[in-house]
Amino acid sequence: MGGKPPLATCVILSCLFLSILLLAQQDDLILQRQLSPKNLKADSGWMNYTREEMVRMQNSETWRSFGPMGGDVISVNVSPVNPDEIYILVYCNYSMSCIYKSTNSGQNWTKTATLNRGCYDMVIHPHDPKILFVLSSSFVLKSTNGGASWTEYDLGYRTYAAYGQISINPINPDILHVAGYHDPGSSGFCMAAFKSTDGGVNWTTKDIKPNSQYGRAYCIAMNPSSPNILYLGGYYSDGSNYYDKLYKSTNSGDSWQDMTGSIQACPYSIIVDPTNPSKVYVGTTWGVYRSSNSGNTWTKSTGGVYAYALGIDPSNPNTIYAGWDKKCYKSTDGGVNWTAYAAGLCGICQDVLAYSGRVYYGSYAGLYKSLDGGTTWKASHAGIKHNVVPAIAVARSSLNVIYAEGSQNGLFKSTDFGNSWSRLPDFYRCDSIYTICVNSSNPDDLVLLAGG
């Protein structure tokens, strides 16, 4: 922070929602025209096309993705039989998501599936990595061959699970649970938990506060040694007030008890200590809460620790990770004390996975990996080209020079017409850049418009 890109003069005009470039999107890629310098339209120093021109080009020309690397990594999973085998779910848009697999701990990736739905969570069968479950808005998709083909199962009438979670019973994997919401037809949406006992084929719905004006469950977790014990987090509204809630079930979701207690914010993530399941952790935007008595009472962590996602080290369960916005907190004493680390991280955290001496941080910007317990991080999404690009510009005086803003991922520069990219140093801004203007005679002189 506080620096500026090398060899560039940047003027930030903040808090403006302005964009002069509309990007075409097709299949699973953020696309740019497959151009050569001779057919660029560069009227005033950067590429600028109208919506009509972009639509015509999308329908009539060849397209390819050339980066920058990254994407919205919404779920990170490890194979139960090979710790080097990692699966990630990448949310592309409301109608498409992709699954990637790495066999070398995230150094290289192979796309195993393109799903024609926006998807929000993924779990792997605890004994067979070929069996995958993916959660969509109103469906669960299941693959039994590692993602080569998929079968879609409906959660039920007026049931929804957008931004929810799916959990699988480690003892009986035919039992799955989903956090979401349901329209019972009485007043409005309510918090709901969905359950399958036949491997995701059929589902039952359990409404929570069915007379609420609106409600939503975001997260669900189970006691790994006693999977009938579940925890569910979310909120509901009675039309006048909002209530942040944490519920517990001791009978596999047949009934739920309010265990919110002193929790004062909406739960977004829940984890249970695998070696001592009486220890439960809840991540919120107002702090991380911990319980040592199965949720009967809660203690809020001190020191300004916040979490959209929580992860626990299975080899040392006193080590907890809390993913936030471009930051990951770490505790080595069971959530009592925390240290914040940010070096190398980008984007709001979506998932945290600690496994076999590695920590993975999935975010809106991509996947990041730490080999030193979360102290430092490096991007681990080489070859994944799903970055949302709200702004791009080509230098008129040097057409091989391209600048692109990666949403929550920083400003990138290419000097070889997009074949390779370098991320420029961070600088003060109020939010993402929406317009990049390059001086028509100097490719290193920029004006950037940012909005917040």
What one-character-per-residue DSSP string does 5-45 give? -TT-EEEEE-S----S---EEETTEEEEE---GGG---SSS
Place of tokens 């003060």: 428
pLDDT score recorded for residue 389: 87
Choose the weakest-confidence range: 33-37, 321-325, 338-342, 344-348. Answer: 33-37
57 has a pLDDT exceeding 70: no
pLDDT at position 317 over 80: yes
Residue 27's pLDDT band, with cuts at 50, 70 and 90, is very low
Query: Looking at per-residue confidence, does 416 or 65 come out higher?
Result: 416
**Secondary structure class of 57 (helix, strand, coil):** helix
Segment 145-159 shows an average pLDDT of 96
What gap in Å lies between CA 401 and CA 396, rounded to an integer? 9
Q: Work out the percent of the chain whose per-residue pLDDT is above 70.
A: 86
| Residue 244 predicted with pLDDT over 80 | yes
At the top level of CATH, the class of 72-379 is mainly beta
Q: Which of 447, 449, 446, 443 is nearest to 37 (CA)?
A: 443
User: What pLDDT, on a 0 to 100 scale, did the predictor assign at position 304?
Assistant: 87
Residue 228: CA atoms inside 13 Å, Cβ hemisphere, count?
4
Confidence band for 314, pLDDT divided at 50, 70 and 90: very high
* CATH 2.130.10.10 domain residues, the chain: 72-379
- From residue 39, alpha-carbon distances to 47, 169, 215, 443 in Å are 11, 57, 52, 19
pLDDT at 50: 53
What's the rounded mean pLDDT across residues 380-388?
91
Per-residue pLDDT averaged across 17-35, rounded?
A: 32
Q: Lowest-confidence range among 56-65, 247-256, 312-321?
A: 56-65
pLDDT at 61: 56
- Per the prediction, the chain carries an average pLDDT of 87
What is the SS3 assignment for 393-414? Answer: EECCCCCCCEEEEECCCEEEEE
Q: What is the pLDDT of residue 427?
A: 78
**H or E element that contains 54:** helix 51-60
Distance between CA 319 and CA 334 in Å, rounded?
6
Residue 398: is its pLDDT beyond 60?
yes
pLDDT of 24 reads 33
**What's the rounded mean pLDDT across residues 168-188?**
94
pLDDT of res. 53 = 56
| Residues in a beta bridge with 26 | 29
pLDDT of 25 strictly over 60: no
